[in-house]
Amino acid sequence: MNKVVFKLIALWWFLATSVLANHHIAMNTVLPGEQKMPPVKLHSLHLAPVNIATTIDQLAADDRIAWQLESSSHLAIQQGINWYKVVVHNASQQTASGYLTLGNDIAINSLDIYSVQPGFNSLNAVNQSQTTRLLPTNNRFTELILAPNEHRTLYIRLAADNELYRPLVVENVHAFMQSSGARHYQNAFAVGGIIAIAVMSLLLYVAVRDPALSWLSAYFFLRAILLSVLVGGHLYYLFPEHPELRGGELLALVALSTLAFIWFTIHLFQLKQQLPRFVYAAKWVSLGLVTISVFSFYMPPSLIVLATNILFISTLVVLFSLGLVLYRRQQRLAFLFSVIMAVQFVFGLLISLGLFFDVSPFNARESLLIASFLFNTTLIVFLICRMYYYQMHDKQLAQKEALTNALASQKAQAQLLNLQEENQEELEQRVQERTLELNIALNELEELNRELEQKNTIDELTGLYNRRFYDQRILAEYRRSKRNLTPLSLVVIDLDFFKRVNDKFGHIAGDQCLSWLAQHIKQSLKRSTDVGCRYGGEEFCLILPDTDQNGAIALAEELRKAVQSFDFVYQGESISLTVSCGVATYTQQENIAPTHIFCAADKALYQAKRQGRNQVNSQDISPDLLIQEHSHD
């Protein structure tokens, strides 16, 4: 799997460098008989919004205006109205034709280009009838045809919502066609590559049914559309008669792709079991992201750009911090996940610098965008490959261990047969010896299988059964109770004010408190059929078969008194702890499922909390009960 990823990276690198090389050659190629476009002199004049009534005739006729000569081919665009004067001189004896191209951006809300008609050398003589207005185009290029020895003066009126730098390029026809084709090929390659990865993720999800892959596929699809928008394929380009669409899809796509990546992360690291509060917060964040995506089409472009940057940076910071938290918990892939978030942040910073500083390579915005998206896609694919590598590695280790034990058993049996053929008199004694060895090997294999099963059903912190075992056991006991007509009781236990312990003494102390409570729970269970489980966080459950409500209340009360009687000691300091308990008993009521039993016990726990904590409460089971949303403190 890793070799496939490395080959994919090498292929993308080769194609990307080939596209850039072809683009560079096309920019500097002149066909036989075609004149290379002459260099231009760029002058700029930035007008405040109050001067928006200034006309082209006033600018062209007024020679007192102090135009500032620009030293760079990138326009320094300020917020508001900007005027630029471009002087082009064809010093050759042949007609030169080409295109004037301005890099596009959603912050540019209007672009008008005016040209002085040939034959008028004095700017003071220019008036409305002698001025030609060239209509702006959505891809921001205008055709130029210069006669031999012609001086051409162009005036550009540009309105922008933000300050930014965009390139202004004059190319001959062949170079323009080659560079445009190379740019389109480069963009199509990047977008198509990400879509291919999205389709592959979707097919892999259909094959293995891993929810993380479905969210990853959605994320890649949205990222491909987002990259297409960033390189020019936005709605305003498709529908130029609707300027209200300018930039609306940018924030919507960023919000929806962020939502998809958050839920991909939740399923990748199984955060529902490890960080349930993060998952709860993610649900509200997802609702907010959907709301943002809907209202983004009603925001002005300046607010869209600001909101997009804030959302992008805050998401990366939160996910990077999440990776560090998981890395502290020795979670696989957490460090690689943090590295991916850090790399994405660096790319975002470089792209942002290109909007405000005319410094190479920051001003190569499209190339940085494509490199950022492709590199991010490659790293995430590598992350998925590592995840499946670890899963396959663990499975291979278990199979190898089982095979080793099976071979040992087979070898022992072969030795028994050989001994039987060699010496019939010693057969019985040898059979007993070899049978003992075989039993030991089988016991070891069975012990390994039990350990493997316990790892899947035992909570590592408390030593009690985990949530998965609880779901299986409560269903089995419910069926047995319903079949044998015996009572089944459930006790839900929660530590009171547990958050205060975490806040005052730290999460390590909190973990030890949970382990200490688990020991009391084990001591309170008198029968082998009684089961104690950690349901989640500081909440525990006791499954008590063949136990009526009074017996369950008595057991819960005994546990409550035991916890209250002994102080938990952490680093020499005593901590008084109490628990609240909720009890529910199933006696074959109609239309009752295991979830209703838990809902009743959970509601009893909720009532115990409301009535002052440190007490046991019970609740009758009803199919109308719902799980209570209450604080664990």
Domain final residue, candidates 341, 365, 393:
393
pLDDT tens, position by position, 446-463: 777 776 666 678 888 888
Decide if 13 is inside a domain.
Answer: no
Number of domains making up the chain: 4
Gap between the Cα atoms of 194 and 223, Å rounded? 8
Judgement on whether residues 355 and 490 belong to the same structural domain of the protein: no
Contact 564, 599 (CB under 8 A): no
Rounded to 5°, angle at Cα 235 from 231 and 236: 90
Judgement on whether residues 561 and 507 belong to the same structural domain of the protein: yes
Judgement on whether residues 40 and 55 belong to the same structural domain of the protein: yes
Judgement on whether residues 51 and 115 belong to the same structural domain of the protein: yes
Decide if 16 is inside a domain.
Answer: no
Range of the domain at 51: 30-176
Judgement on whether residues 159 and 259 belong to the same structural domain of the protein: no
Quote the distance between the C-alpha of residue 358 and its chain's center. Answer: 31
pLDDT tens, position by position, 474-523: 999 999 999 999 999 999 999 998 888 888 889 898 999 999 999 999 99
**What pLDDT score does 137 carry?**
35
**What pLDDT score does 492 carry?**
96
Decide if 623 is inside a domain.
Answer: no
Tokens at 131, concatenated: 């001025």
Question: Could you tell me the pLDDT band of residue 614, with boundaries at 50, 70 and 90?
Answer: very high
Question: Could you tell me the pLDDT band of residue 420, with boundaries at 50, 70 and 90?
Answer: low
Question: Looking at per-residue confidence, does 386 or 33 come out higher?
Answer: 386
pTM of the model: 0.51
Q: Which residues are catalytic?
A: 538
Contact 281, 265 (CB under 8 A): no
Which of 70-84, 464-478, 506-520, 597-611 is predicted least confidently?
70-84
Mean pLDDT of the chain: 77
Decide if 398 is inside a domain.
Answer: no
Question: Looking at per-residue confidence, does 267 or 22 come out higher?
Answer: 267
Decide if 628 is inside a domain.
Answer: no
Domain final residue, candidates 435, 457, 479:
457
Decide if 24 is inside a domain.
Answer: no
Whether the bond between 361 and the residue before it is cis, its omega within 30 degrees of 0, is yes
pLDDT tens, position by position, 90-132: 777 777 777 777 776 667 777 777 776 554 333 322 333 333 3
Q: Would you say residue 16 has pLDDT above 50? A: no
**What pLDDT score does 513 carry?**
92
Run of H or E including 96: strand 96-102
Q: What percent of the chain has pLDDT over 90?
A: 23
Any idea what the CATH number is for the domain that residue 206 is in? 1.20.1070
Tokens at 165, concatenated: 């730098």
**Helix 211-230 vs helix 365-422: crossing angle, to nearest 10:** 160
Domain final residue, candidates 393, 415, 447:
393
Q: How many CB atoms lie within 10 A of CB 69?
A: 10
Residue located via tokens 């959970």: 602
Gap between the Cα atoms of 532 and 513, Å rounded? 16
Judgement on whether residues 73 and 215 belong to the same structural domain of the protein: no
Decide if 418 is inside a domain.
Answer: yes
Any idea what the CATH number is for the domain that residue 504 is in? 3.30.70.270
**What pLDDT score does 26 carry?**
39
Which of 260-264, 391-395, 617-621 is predicted least confidently?
391-395
**What pLDDT score does 260 carry?**
92
Q: Would you say residue 604 has pLDDT above 90? A: yes
Residue 81's DSSP bridge partners are 47, 159
pLDDT tens, position by position, 213-272: 899 999 999 988 888 877 766 665 565 555 556 666 788 888 999 999 999 999 888 888
**What pLDDT score does 584 carry?**
95
Residue 210 half-sphere exposure, CB side, CA atoms within 13 Å?
Answer: 22
Question: Could you tell me the pLDDT band of residue 73, with boundaries at 50, 70 and 90?
Answer: low
Judgement on whether residues 162 and 35 belong to the same structural domain of the protein: yes
Judgement on whether residues 560 and 583 belong to the same structural domain of the protein: yes
**What pLDDT score does 386 carry?**
86
Judgement on whether residues 543 and 512 belong to the same structural domain of the protein: yes
Decide if 386 is inside a domain.
Answer: yes
Q: Would you say residue 135 has pLDDT above 60? A: no
Run of H or E including 252: helix 248-268
Tokens at 425, concatenated: 């008199």
Signed CA dihedral, 253, 256, 262, 268: sign only: negative
Residue located via tokens 């008036």: 127
Any idea what the CATH number is for the domain that residue 120 is in? 2.60.40
Highest mean predicted confidence (pLDDT) among 155-164, 338-347, 513-522, 566-575: 513-522
**What pLDDT score does 18 carry?**
43
Judgement on whether residues 149 and 190 belong to the same structural domain of the protein: no
Judgement on whether residues 159 and 254 belong to the same structural domain of the protein: no
Judgement on whether residues 309 and 349 belong to the same structural domain of the protein: yes
**What pLDDT score does 5 carry?**
42
**What pLDDT score does 52 carry?**
40
Per-residue burial over 81-118, b if 16 or more Cβ lie within 10 Å, else e, is bbbbbbebebeeeeebebbbbbbbbbbbbebebbbbee
Helices (H) and strands (E) in the chain, counts: 17, 17
Which amino acid does the sequence have at 557?
A: E
Gap between the Cα atoms of 535 and 579, Å rounded? 15
Q: Would you say residue 561 has pLDDT above 70? A: yes
pLDDT tens, position by position, 158-192: 887 777 777 777 777 777 777 777 777 777 788 88
Q: Would you say residue 88 has pLDDT above 80? A: no
